[in-house]
Amino acid sequence: MTSSAPARWRFLGTATGIIAVAALAALPFLVDAYMLHWAITVLKFAVLTLAWDILARTGQVSFGHAAFFGLGAYVAVLASSTLGLGQILSMLVAGVVAAGLATCLSALFFRVRGIYFAILTLAFAEVLKVCATMLTGMTGGAMGLSARPLFGGDAVKSYFFILILALFTIATMWLLSRTRYHFGITAMRSSPEVAAAFGIPVVPIRTIAYSVSAGLTGVVGAFYAFYTTYINPESAFDVAISVAPVIMSIFGGLYSIAGGIIGAVTLTLLQEYLRTTFEYGSLIVYGLLLIVSILFMPKGVWGLVSGLASRQRSPAREVAS
Amino acid sequence: MEMFIQATVNGIITAGLYALVAYGLLIVLGIMNVVNFAHGEFVMIGAYFSYWAFIATGVDPLLLALPVALAMFLCGMAIYKFTVGPVLREPSINQLVLTFGISLTLQNVALLLWNADLRSISVPYADVSFSIGSINLGVFRVAAFLLACLSIGILQFTTHYTRFGKAMQAVSQNKTASSLVGINVNSVHLLTFGAAAATAGVAGVVVSVLMYTFPTVGAHLILKAFAIVILGGLGSILGTIIASLVLALSESYVGTYVPSGSGWAEGVSFLLIIAVLIMRPQGLFGVRDHD
Amino acid sequence: MLRIRNLSKSFGGVRAVDNVSFDVPLGAIVALIGPNGAGKTSTFNLISGLLPPDSGSVTLFDKPLTGKSPDEICRAGVARTFQISQLFETLSIRENIQTAALFGRSTRDDVQAAARRSDELVEAFDLGSHANALPKDLTFAQRRNVEIARALVMDPQILLLDEVLAGLTASEIEEAIAIVERVKSPTVGILLVEHQMRAVMRLADSVVVMMNGGVLMQGSPEEVRKHPKVLSAYLGEEIDASGSHIATRSEEALSLNSTADGGGRSVSAAAEPVLSIRNLSAGYGPLTALHGIDIDVGDNELVALIGSNGMGKSTTLKAISGLLVPLAGKVHFEGRDVTHLPAHSIVRLGLGQVPEGRQLFQYMSVEDNLMLGAAFVAQAWGARRERLDEIFALFPRLAERRSQRAGSLSGGEQQMVAIGRALMARPRLLMLDEPTIGLAPIVVAETFEAISRIKAAGVSVLLVEQNVGWALRVADRVYVMESGKIVLAEKAENLWANREFLQSFGLG
């Protein structure tokens, strides 16, 4: 009994995972182009949310991931148009550049914490937006840049690209959760000082987390640029890009893969639906959800679900012992 | 030279508005340690209030400052009571996300109700201006600036020379000690939040006069207000005023002298935020004793 | 061996750690003792790298640790616990220990091996049934054990234990002492900061006594115990061993008038207490710190509440003044039930508190601080000017400093402001929470003199104090607290005659 309950849950988890991956692989052959676009959007936000969560797990909440999203978008478009790199290579370069920038920034940015870090990152994204608008020679200014469509406009290939990126992100996070760094990161979140007193290399972990988080966000930005074939400063450095992962994580449940996915899927679909329904103000629901989440559901949907699940499981554990 | 003086005057007028917006953000931050993202939306609501009241009645918007302030005072207290108050003991990031949610909601309600149009008020004397030397000053703009100054003066007087003001100072410095000298800390929080919303309402009136009224006008202003608060510190109104002048004047000069500068000017406040936070990691927030 | 040489650190002009030198050899237990505010925890923070020293050095086997980051120092083999337990609240107990195992001196990436090693310690510390619980669900003593286990699992060469016995009950202390004795081994050097003198005497091989940031003396427990300087640092004996200071309280009645009907009452204390507490319980989260206590304070009576650190004395005052909501029980003030009133209403009724750590309005002037004491108490506001003059008569030094910023005053002066601020409200009863903590002996004497004069002016006083010698001299009656319970209530003069008896409570 003692071992069977966790084993059963693990089996359920694995089974769900396999079925989900199979369904996702089959999806493009089952749905129309419109639905496929939605699926791509959902996956895009799932990666953004999970990437953001990697940094959040160390205890720093960024309100400015649009900086890396937009940077990735511009770098990829410029790399492919001016340097003539292939699109996939351009997207990788975008990720590397974003990660590199984050590495450089971390020594400066992590000098502040909490709300000040949030405001700092927000301001940084805005600075990049201004740069993108004003450096017209390179970026085309407010007019933006257009790019060749990704995979020659083959939405199914685009879908598989973003799906693989999502699975890669999930796999990375899952593998990380099995190493000692998972413990180090969780401990840092409680208190970086105390964590350091127990030998946890706080500074390198934080730097790497920020870089990985930024790199993945940069790749998504690059993907977005090629997928939509057009970027401008307003769309690439949109505050909404910074805020989406915060909202999705908090709604779904912070610091967990499942929470991030739940948040990204639910809110992206909701938002897409509302946007097609209302001309203005579709973000009202977003705002209200945030308020309600913080007031009544601070651990998010996943926190609620896993809380209920563990409450159901705990009597079994007592019987067993 | 003429251009310089004109840029300076424009900067000073804008600084009055910035300081007023920043002041409201600052008292909430100083007294209950909450960064109120929705403060900008309070300004926006104030601006629409002023705009619609003007459209409906034709009364000079500057005369509407008082009723707008009163209405926003009540709204502010209600918002505090039902949203911010209950999470006051929770991690600051929860509060930040909560006020962000309020901001997002109000912004989109405004979008839904009034769409994204830029609206401006034109009073009969809008074009009346007077000249000092070669400098041209619009009477309406100067009046709006004076309204901002007057509001700051009233706030300043309240916080320094009244018993309630002393209570606000006490609560900002030490909550335990405050309740031990008989101050009802909750009421101070409630009234402070209301007062901050009221100043935002007045700032909204000024916005409707000096600039355009649109749903995201507050979001533009709030980031500038952050920059001012970070730059000026929590200590004295002097810090806030100087920071407002620094920001508004540098925006004005960058806009005037740098080629296609108005675009770059937008970035000034963000650069200030980044520079100050990185160079003074404790933030100028913590510095109270430079007065 | 851990070698500490000429370590110094100042905070805003105050030398918190002043030229401290001592050694911690492997196989030995070195105790660091001294009154609160002596600089013990700062010394710990300097050794473990949480604070950078201004000057001086720390070396481990001649390798310098100074200038290294806390995680490097930890991996070099120096593990520590924290005074206020700092568990990783989102990790389970097993994971807390496991985390330390994964990053400690013998760094390994094998999560399973670390889990096994953690499990050994979980069992050794009798935490088996809580291994999967979160820290918040543990008792105080259990959290302490997790703290120690988490430090031990790292295989340290030097173990820093910061007041691991504070707040434990007598039997829990015995268990903890047994644990430390078991930890002792030829390959580990232990440095412990401790208030429990009995434990220090039993455990330590050598003792370092700190006072005002510097090392007062070091030697064997026996030497330290007998040393007059140490006795005076702890008991304030050198001021006046005969207790004749008590004389001041009745003679030097000053012009400090209490609330309307205060001074002249002839009703006996027993008949109608000003403050009456029955069966009061209170706590923080899952931790119950007070277990149903009864206390009475009579009219114009000075009652002292004594006990060692973490026994619930401050909690008692907070539960009375409304800073902490009681779990059960009743508090009556002047016959009125004030149990669930908010703190600000209780103050307005005339029950003043001088809180732990003074809690001044740091950025306001002395005069503003004092005025705020009266500003929100209706019966005090009218005559605030007169009252201010009375306070200045009681503490003439404050008159000189009236326009200075409160935060810039010395510790003793800040304490005067805190007391003066509470008196501005014309309280009928004044509660003082460790008013002499961290003060120099001469200032301690002045403070107690002031307290005696306040009482002489007709105010009832409830005093929480660690300085037992002084408390016995000024008080009428004394309550002794241990582990959240009142274990003794007695007239002060009876206890004064049997001071040795108090040692059985770990006091004196």
For residue A114, the chain B residues in CB contact (below 8 A) are 92-93
Residue B285 has what pLDDT? 46
Query: B179 at the C interface (CB within 8 A)?
Result: yes
Of B110, B147, B188, B158, nearest in space to B17 by CA: B147
Of C108, C99, C195, C102, nearest in space to C147 by CA: C99
Say if residues C371 and B206 touch (Cβ distance below 8 Å).
Answer: no
Residue B166 has what pLDDT? 92
Of A287, A286, A308, A293, nearest in space to A252 by CA: A293
In sequence order, which residues have a C-beta less than 8 Å from that of residue C286 and are 6 or more positions away? C136, C137, C138
Question: Who among B174, B182, B289 is closest to C376 (CB)?
Answer: B182
Of B209, B193, B197, nearest in space to B47 by CA: B209
Which of A74-88, A100-114, A296-310, C417-431 has the lowest average pLDDT? Answer: A296-310
Query: B174 at the A interface (CB within 8 A)?
Result: no
Q: Does residue A52 lie within any of the structural domains?
A: yes
For residue A303, the chain C residues in CB contact (below 8 A) are none
Chains that touch B (3 or more CB pairs under 8 A): A, C
Within a 13 Å sphere around the CA of C110, how many CA atoms are in the beta-carbon half?
Answer: 7
Domain boundaries, position B97: 2-120+135-286
Residue C503 has what pLDDT? 61
Q: Is the pLDDT of residue C248 over 60?
A: no
Of B22, B31, B73, B67, nearest in space to B49 by CA: B67
Contact C363 B289 (CB under 8 A): yes
pLDDT per residue as tens digits for the range B64-114: 899 999 999 999 999 999 999 999 888 777 888 899 899 989 999 999 899
Contact C425 B181 (CB under 8 A): yes
Residue of C321, C353, C359, C414 to mutate, testing the B interface (most B Cβ within 10 Å of its Cβ): C359
Which of A294-308, B277-291, C373-387, C482-496 has the lowest average pLDDT? Answer: B277-291
Identify the bridge partners of residue B135 per DSSP, sorted by sequence position. Answer: B132
Question: Who among B173, B176, B185 is closest to C364 (CB)?
Answer: B173
Q: Does residue B177 lie within any of the structural domains?
A: yes
C2-235 folds as Rossmann fold (3.40.50)
Distance from CA of A42 to the nearest CA of C (A): 30
Q: Identify the top-confidence range among A139-143, C58-62, C247-251.
A: C58-62
Q: Does residue B175 lie within any of the structural domains?
A: yes
For residue C372, the chain B residues in CB contact (below 8 A) are 166, 170, 181, 183
Give the ipTM of the model, two decimals please.
0.82
Q: Is the pLDDT of residue C226 over 90?
A: no
Residue-wise DSSP of A212-261: HHHHHHHHHHHHHHHHHSEE-HHHHT-HHHHHHHHHHHHHH-TT-HHHHH
Say if residues B60 and B128 touch (Cβ distance below 8 Å).
Answer: no
Structure token pair of residue C25? 């050899």
Residue C269 — pLDDT band, cuts 50, 70, 90? very low
Q: Does residue A244 lie within any of the structural domains?
A: yes
For residue C100, the chain A residues in CB contact (below 8 A) are 198-199
Residue A62: closest CA among chain B residues belongs to which residue? B93
Domain boundaries, position A39: 31-320
Q: Does residue A77 lie within any of the structural domains?
A: yes
Q: Is the pLDDT of residue C15 over 70?
A: yes
CA distance linking residue A236 with residue A129, whole number of Å: 8
For residue C150, the chain A residues in CB contact (below 8 A) are 198
pLDDT per residue as tens digits for the range C186-198: 999 999 988 777 7
CA distance linking residue B29 with residue B21, whole number of Å: 13
What's the CATH code of the domain at A181? Answer: 1.10.3470
Contact B177 C355 (CB under 8 A): yes
Q: Is the pLDDT of residue B135 over 90?
A: no
CA distance linking residue C446 with residue C434, whole number of Å: 14
Q: Is A141 exposed, middle or buried (0-12, 13-18, 19+ CB in 10 A)?
A: middle
Residue of C41, C44, C68, C88 to mutate, testing the A interface (most A Cβ within 10 Å of its Cβ): C88
Q: Does residue B95 lie within any of the structural domains?
A: yes
Going by the DSSP 8-state scheme, the letter that residue A148 receives in this structure is P
Identify the bridge partners of residue C293 per DSSP, sorted by sequence position. Answer: C280
Identify the bridge partners of residue C20 per DSSP, sorted by sequence position. Answer: C7
Label each residue of C322-390 as H, E or C.
CCCCCCEEEEEECCEECCCCCHHHHHHCCEEEECCCCCCCCCCEHHHHHHHHHHCCHHHHCCHHHHHHH
Average model confidence (pLDDT) across chain B: 87
Residue A141 has what pLDDT? 83
Q: Is the pLDDT of residue C240 over 70?
A: no
Question: Who among A180, A191, A202 is closest to C111 (CB)?
Answer: A180
Of chain C, the percentage scoring pLDDT greater than 70 comes to 87
Contact B35 A284 (CB under 8 A): no
pLDDT per residue as tens digits for the range A273-290: 888 887 777 778 878 888
Question: Who among A178, A183, A202 is closest to C99 (CB)?
Answer: A183
Chains that touch C (3 or more CB pairs under 8 A): A, B
Question: Who among A196, A198, A203 is closest to C104 (CB)?
Answer: A198
Residue A321 — pLDDT band, cuts 50, 70, 90? very low
Going by the DSSP 8-state scheme, the letter that residue B80 receives in this structure is I
Residue C250 has what pLDDT? 34
Q: Is the pLDDT of residue B124 over 80?
A: no
User: Domain C246-255+271-505 - what CATH class?
Assistant: alpha beta
Residue A182: closest CA among chain C residues belongs to which residue? C99
Instruction: Give the position of tokens 């001071």.
Output: C499
pLDDT per residue as tens digits for the range B248-278: 998 888 888 887 767 787 788 888 888 888 8
Say if residues C421 and C456 touch (Cβ distance below 8 Å).
Answer: no
Mean pLDDT over residues C174-193, rounded?
89
Contact B273 A281 (CB under 8 A): no
Q: Does residue B36 lie within any of the structural domains?
A: yes
Q: What φ, ψ does residue B137 adopt, rounded to 5°?
A: -125, 125
Residue B214 — pLDDT band, cuts 50, 70, 90? very high
Chains that touch A (3 or more CB pairs under 8 A): B, C
Structure token pair of residue A28? 């493009």
Structure token pair of residue C465? 């104090």
Residue C246 has what pLDDT? 36
Query: C88 at the A interface (CB within 8 A)?
Result: yes
Domain count, chain B: 1
Residue B254 has what pLDDT? 87
In sequence order, which residues have a C-beta less than 8 Å from that of residue A29 and are 6 or more positions away? none
* CA distances, B202 to each of A199, B57, B62, B128, B248 (Å): 53, 18, 9, 23, 19
Of C146, C239, C231, nearest in space to C197 by CA: C231
| C47 alpha carbon, distance to own chain's centre | 22
Residue C505 — pLDDT band, cuts 50, 70, 90? low
Q: What number of C-beta contacts closer than 8 Å exist between B and C? A: 75
pLDDT per residue as tens digits for the range B44-62: 999 999 999 999 988 888 8
Say if residues A266 and A247 touch (Cβ distance below 8 Å).
Answer: no
Residue C255 — pLDDT band, cuts 50, 70, 90? very low
Of C172, C97, C93, C84, nearest in space to C137 by CA: C93
Say if residues A46 and A260 touch (Cβ distance below 8 Å).
Answer: yes
Residue C251 has what pLDDT? 35
CA distance linking residue C310 with residue C482, whole number of Å: 9
Going by the DSSP 8-state scheme, the letter that residue A31 receives in this structure is S
Contact B180 C352 (CB under 8 A): yes
CA distance linking residue B81 with residue B185, whole number of Å: 14
Q: Is the pLDDT of residue C82 over 90?
A: no
Query: A294 at the B interface (CB within 8 A)?
Result: yes
pLDDT per residue as tens digits for the range C133-165: 888 888 778 888 899 999 988 889 999 998 888
- Strands (E) in C61-123, as ranges, are 63-64, 78-80
Say if residues A178 and C111 touch (Cβ distance below 8 Å).
Answer: yes
Helical spans, DSSP H, in C190-332:
197-203, 221-226, 228-235, 246-251, 313-321
Contact A178 C100 (CB under 8 A): no
Q: Is the pLDDT of residue C508 over 80?
A: no
Q: Is A129 exposed, middle or buried (0-12, 13-18, 19+ CB in 10 A)?
A: buried
Say if residues A161 and A223 touch (Cβ distance below 8 Å).
Answer: yes
Q: Is the pLDDT of residue A129 over 90?
A: yes
Strand, helix or coil for residue C71: helix
Of C229, C217, C213, nearest in space to C56 by CA: C213
Say if residues C31 and C201 touch (Cβ distance below 8 Å).
Answer: no
Mean pLDDT over residues A87-108, rounded?
95
Using CB atoms and an 8 Å cut-off, which of residues 145-164 of chain B contact chain C? 163
Q: What φ, ψ does residue C309 adopt, rounded to 5°?
A: -55, 140
Of A189, A193, A201, nearest in space to C104 by CA: A201
Say if residues C148 and C182 touch (Cβ distance below 8 Å).
Answer: no
Residue C232 has what pLDDT? 66
Residue A202: closest CA among chain C residues belongs to which residue? C71
Q: Is C12 left (phi over 0), alpha (psi -120 to 50) or beta?
A: left
Sheet with C328-333: strands ordered across:
C287-297, C275-284, C328-333, C336-337
Contact A295 B106 (CB under 8 A): no
CA B95, B96, B102: angle at the middle one, nearest 5?
Answer: 90
pLDDT per residue as tens digits for the range A194-244: 899 888 999 999 999 999 999 999 999 999 999 999 999 999 999 889 989
Query: C98 at the A interface (CB within 8 A)?
Result: yes
C343 against C508, higher pLDDT: C343
CB atoms within 10 A of CB C24: 27
CA distance linking residue C28 with residue C47, whole number of Å: 17
Q: Does residue A219 lie within any of the structural domains?
A: yes
Residue A301 — pLDDT band, cuts 50, 70, 90? confident
Residue C500 has what pLDDT? 65
Query: C90 at the A interface (CB within 8 A)?
Result: yes
Residue B286 has what pLDDT? 45
CA distance linking residue C324 with residue C342, whole number of Å: 9
Going by the DSSP 8-state scheme, the letter that residue C405 receives in this structure is B
Within a 13 Å sphere around the CA of A282, how many CA atoms are in the beta-carbon half?
Answer: 14
Mean pLDDT over residues A1-29, rounded?
78
Domain count, chain A: 1
For residue B174, the chain C residues in CB contact (below 8 A) are 359-362
Which of C127-141, C237-251, C378-392 has the lowest average pLDDT? Answer: C237-251
Q: Is the pLDDT of residue A314 over 50?
A: no
Question: Who among C74, C75, C88 is closest to A186 (CB)?
Answer: C88
Of chain C, the percentage scoring pLDDT greater than 90 comes to 45
Residue C236 has what pLDDT? 46
Average model confidence (pLDDT) across chain C: 84
What's the CATH code of the domain at B69? Answer: 1.10.3470
Mean pLDDT over residues B146-154, rounded?
93
| A263 alpha carbon, distance to own chain's centre | 11
For residue B111, the chain A residues in CB contact (below 8 A) are 280-281
Contact B179 C322 (CB under 8 A): yes
Domain map (residue ranges) of chain C: 2-235, 246-255+271-505
Query: B185 at the C interface (CB within 8 A)?
Result: yes
Query: B89 at the C interface (CB within 8 A)?
Result: no
Instruction: Give the position of tokens 């009656």.
Output: C477
